[in-house]
Amino acid sequence: MKLSVCVPTYNHEQYIDQMLEGALMQQTSFDFEIVIGDDASTDATPDIIRQYDAEKPGIIRAFLHSENQGPKEPREFAGRNNVLQLLKACKGEYVAMCEGDDYWTDPLKLQKQVDFLDQNPDYAVCHHNMEVIYEDGSPSHFFNAADQKAVSTMEDLLEDRWFMATASWVYRNQFLTEDFAEWHAKAAAGDWAIMFQLAAKGKIGYLPDVMGVYRKHSAGLSNVHAHTNLKFLQNRREMFENVGKWLDGRYNATVTQTLQRYDELLASLEKIGSSN
């Protein structure tokens, strides 16, 4: 199998049609599968997935959990186990990520990214620009700025820069044969944890084409993963520290600067908390 589309979903009945249509319209010279995991949604999401599965047998592999895979606590880790199980279930040489509330708009998206990775074996990941839209009606905008670098590396990530919409990733599926890093299970920022492990294997390439939509809404985890959430920031600092050790200290100068910024931010938040 050349590629797996990995789709974690939970209570996305309003959006999952659009996501699946965006995947099914892909025009490719290779076979791909859609590996979708519903984390015990309480709405009609599982029924919609079953309907698509019946209509497109052999393309969709659905994991419809009757119980939420958790963990329930801490809240910052919500959905983690569903995602990790799905990533391991992906059989493709490449994996394209797309959460159930995002969607793709370019029918050649997968072909373009697979061509890029096939032609550039020293790259581990290919991402692209996305349109960001808001449930509350705020103006939409592009995810990446016009000056987004064409090539990024581990160094960029360790500087605490995030420049990839998750639904824009296609990566080489190293998790077919390798386990997740030991520190991964402790990191609340799951996207970061995966990307650190991918960036350890190769460069990150960027295509400026706008090929999908990233939806931001009130139920999203990005609201829990906020820079005013003390527990999340403490966890994030710990993640950078753990990754630095995992990389055998090769990026010590960069990691030290990042940890220092977190220490300053945490100190100011704790000060605010104690004065309230």
- pLDDT tens track for 65-104: 878 776 555 555 666 678 899 999 999 999 999 999 999 9
Looking at the structure, give the CATH architecture of the domain made up of residues 3-223: Alpha-Beta Complex (3.90)
Per-residue pLDDT tens digits for 207-246:
999 999 999 976 544 444 456 678 889 999 999 999 999 9
248 φ/ψ sector (left φ>0, alpha ψ -120 to 50, else beta): left
The pLDDT assigned to 67 comes to 81
The rounded Cα 246 to chain-centroid distance in angstroms is 21
How far apart are the C-alpha atoms of 99 and 101, rounded to whole Å?
6
Please identify which residue in the block is written with the tokens 């249509």: 21
Backbone angles phi, psi at 27, to 5 degrees: -100, 110
In DSSP notation, 124-164 reads EEEEEEEEEEETT-PPPEESS-TT--SEE-HHHHHTT----
Task: Sketch the domain layout of the chain as residue ranges.
Answer: 3-223, 230-274
Q: Which residues of the chain have pLDDT under 50?
A: 220-225
The pLDDT assigned to 276 comes to 56
